[in-house]
Structure 1
Amino acid sequence: MSAESTSAELLAKLLSSTPDGLLLVDTEGIIQYANPAAERLFERATGTLIGQPFGLPHVVGIRDIELVRDDGSLRTVEMRPIETTWEGDPVWVIALRDTTEQRQDQEQLQIRLQANSELTHELAHELGTTLAVIIGFAGTYEQRWEQLTDEQRRDLFHRIGVHARRIQRMLRRMLLADTTQARPSGPDTRPVELWEVALSHLPDLGVPSVQIDCPRDLRVQADPAYLDEIVINLVENAAKYGAAPITVSARRVGDVVELTVADRGPGVPEDFVPRLFERYARPDETARRTSGSGLGLYLVDKLARALGGSARYEPNQPHGACFVVTLPAA
């Protein structure tokens, strides 16, 4: 075997194995050669690109182009054209790299960074407001100690506790949202009484007009901390974006327990329903009217799935929102 044929075989192997698409285009803009990676990029059968018009790049350097495949799908492609000669004739050697996924990842990262910035702003506002309330109550307690009755003192202590727990929930929400699982070891599931664990202390949230309909002996297979977070997020979501009365009900249906939280507010815009349980998702109109992190429903769905259940939205009748969480019955 001659050195020339060996070099040709080596070149052919290199061109075939490279992950980037390579085209050889003549001065008429016609493809004279295409390696396998280019054929995969265009989704063409072997050899069918040769003889097809590509056009002349007219640009030396790197540029991004939109490649339209035969099926109508779009790919973002980084094109590197080099003007050279081949066997004495002027040609273009064009390297093509599919950057569609990379571009999508960059866009998602930008969205995530923007959402994190907005979340930080919202949480700082909520934490600041809640701390200001606590400081106000504490100041009243300190300055008016002698004038306050025992009942007024107890009321102040109660209000301070309510707002302190609100801060605790906000911080816990942040930690839960920033982990793949709420706990590294997964949920600690066991039979728990729904009423005792998650519903009996709803009045402590300070949400008015909450009506509860749940059998006292109804039990679910769940992690108490997860269950508590699910209920709190649903009730606070109804209080913030819905309207009274808010009803919390639970019943056993076969092997699962359905926990329902409904309100009589405006409901969820139909076009936004598919995004309800996405991280940071909030309708534009709602975001303008009400502060919030967009994490509550995301966590409800995430924690329900971790417990082997699910979360869904249904329009309430005649108006309002209704969220249903299914969990395994104990």
Structure 2
Amino acid sequence: MRWISLRLRLMLVFALVALAAAVSASAIAYWLNRDAVLTRTQNAALDDFRKSLQDNTGSLPLVPTCADLQEAADRMAATSQKYEVLLIGAVKGGTTCAAPSDRDLFTLTVVPKTLVTAVNRERKVDESNPYPYHLYWQRITLGGKPYLVGGAKVIGGGPTGYLLKSLDNERADLNSLAWSLGIATGLALIGSALLAQAAASTVLRPVQRLGDAARRLGEGKLDTRLRVSGTDELADLSRTFNKTAEALQKRVEDLSSREAASRRFVADMSHELRTPLTAITAVTEVLEDEADSLDPMIAPAVQLVVSETRRLNDLVENLMEVTRFDAGTARLVLDHVDIADQITACIDARAWLDAVELDAERGIMARLDPRRLDVILANLIGNALKHGGSPVRVSVRQTEEALVIAVRDHGPGIPEDVLPHVFDRFYKASASRPRSEGSGLGLSIALENAHIHGGEITAENSAEGGAVFTLTLPRESEPDGGAGAAPERGPAEGESR
């Protein structure tokens, strides 16, 4: 079903209600006027016919001739009511004569048989019925035109008389009335549409303003407020919106200030740690170089200090990188990169050549940030080697607009409850190894680096076994504006699962 706006629905409802009311009122007015017009015409003709029948048949001989009946019929038809008359009675010679005022229009065949039967039926005279015969009438159609037919039998043995009155003028008047009512209905419909438009505008204008304000609020413009006037339900809704927006703004400002303070703390802490870490790293490197000449009892402790120092150094670098992403200061330094060469260099620099299979054609070029692409690849491949197992297969394919790099391992795959969290910061699948190598930031940093390129990373389990991480990058990334503040060496690969 197609979407219909609220304004159109209101107008349709108004129009339908107005149409139903106008049609009902017009129909009632038409039928009332029709009944009044026909009843007035009918009563006038029948009353005149009854009186004329009594006056003109009372002067006839006891046994009239056919000419007498004809003359009486002509006199009766000459009244102002303009109806035709048919007199039927017994005449001299023992025969029955039918004398019509218009032989071409009104004959006994025109009179319905049911009317003839009713007129000639003699009723029992009693207190409730003082006359044996009554006047009856019926409406008929002749040649497509309406007529009134009435008849009565003269009491005391006189002739039977029938009248035929045309109702064509009344029908014309009623048709004119119907046209007038139709025009009035149309005007009422147009007026209702205009009123509906005005009512819809009055009702929907505050709703539209509320919708626009909610949209601006959703876009982050937390200072959006509505001008409130009136005391109706829409005014109460606007006041509620303003109170909600004010509370939301205060809450967001509070959270933003806390988040900014947290970012400053992490950044300051990372920067403060770099100076002592530099000194500690220099000492551990000396100790590592002298490890062969150290006492065998001391060597394991020295090796632990060296590894933990490197791990701490990687964690600080990762935290600084995360801080740049959160602060929005991370930038791209773009260059045209041969993807196959870049992946090979990443694998070779980390001595993974024996554990990684590369399926990539040379000559696939893309405009990317080489350092950030190296960070992404190092984290994805390192994660696959650490948690999935060899061999890890890296495949590259390209479309007209995108570059797709898939990293697949041959391990047990990612548990379904872990899969939604693999890119979360500091997330580790196993609670039993909270101090395992890696910070839990590697995959989240890889995802942020993909996002800054305008790309995406997805994780899923392969039907053939193992996990598959798919990196999708645009062939032409848009720079974020200038050289980046990121360090020259990328963050170390993190532990995510």
TM-score (norm 2): 0.36
Q: 1:178 — aligned with what?
A: 323
Gap runs ≥5 in structure 2: 1-224, 226-234, 295-307, 477-497
Q: 1:300 to 1:169 in 2, by over 3 A?
A: same
1: CA distance, partners of 2:384 / 2:286: 27
Aligned match for 2:289, one of 138, 147, 151:
138
Secondary structure in structure 2 of the residue aligned to 1:180: helix
Q: 1:202 — aligned with what?
A: 347
Instruction: Tell me by how many angstroms 1:231 deviates.
Output: 0.6
1: CA distance, partners of 2:348 / 2:286: 22
Letter of the 2:389 counterpart: A
Letter of the 2:290 counterpart: G
Q: Is the 8 A contact 2:311 2:438 kept in 1?
A: no
Pairing 1:236–2:387 present: no
Secondary structure in structure 1 of the residue aligned to 2:324: coil
CA RMSD of aligned residues (A): 4.8
Aligned ranges for residues 1-330 of structure 1 at < 5 Å?
40=240, 105=255, 134-135=285-286, 137-140=288-291, 143=293, 171-180=316-325, 184=329, 186-207=331-352, 209-285=355-431, 287-288=433-434, 290-329=436-475
Secondary structure in structure 2 of the residue aligned to 1:179: helix
- Relative to its length, the structure with more helix (as a share) is 2
Secondary structure in structure 1 of the residue aligned to 2:449: helix
Q: Is the 8 A contact 1:258 1:325 kept in 2?
A: yes
Letter of the 2:289 counterpart: A
Q: 1:228 to 1:183 in 2, by over 3 A?
A: farther
Q: Deviations over 1:236-277 (max 9, x none)?
A: 211222211111221213321111111112222212222222
2: CA distance, partners of 1:226 / 1:240: 21
Gap runs ≥5 in structure 1: 1-18, 20-34, 44-74, 76-96, 145-162
Letter of the 2:369 counterpart: D
Secondary structure in structure 2 of the residue aligned to 1:174: helix
- Relative to its length, the structure with more strand (as a share) is 1
Q: Is the 8 A contact 1:189 1:307 kept in 2?
A: no
Instruction: Tell me by how many angstroms 1:166 deviates.
Output: 8.1
Q: 1:263 to 1:100 in 2, by over 3 A?
A: farther
Secondary structure in structure 2 of the residue aligned to 1:270: coil
1: CA distance, partners of 2:374 / 2:401: 21
Q: Deviations over 1:3-44 (max 9, x none)?
A: xxxxxxxxxxxxxxxx9xxxxxxxxxxxxxxx969x839x9x
2: CA distance, partners of 1:166 / 1:209: 23
Q: Which has the larger radius of gyration?
A: 2
2: CA distance, partners of 1:178 / 1:199: 29
Q: 1:290 to 1:242 in 2, by over 3 A?
A: farther
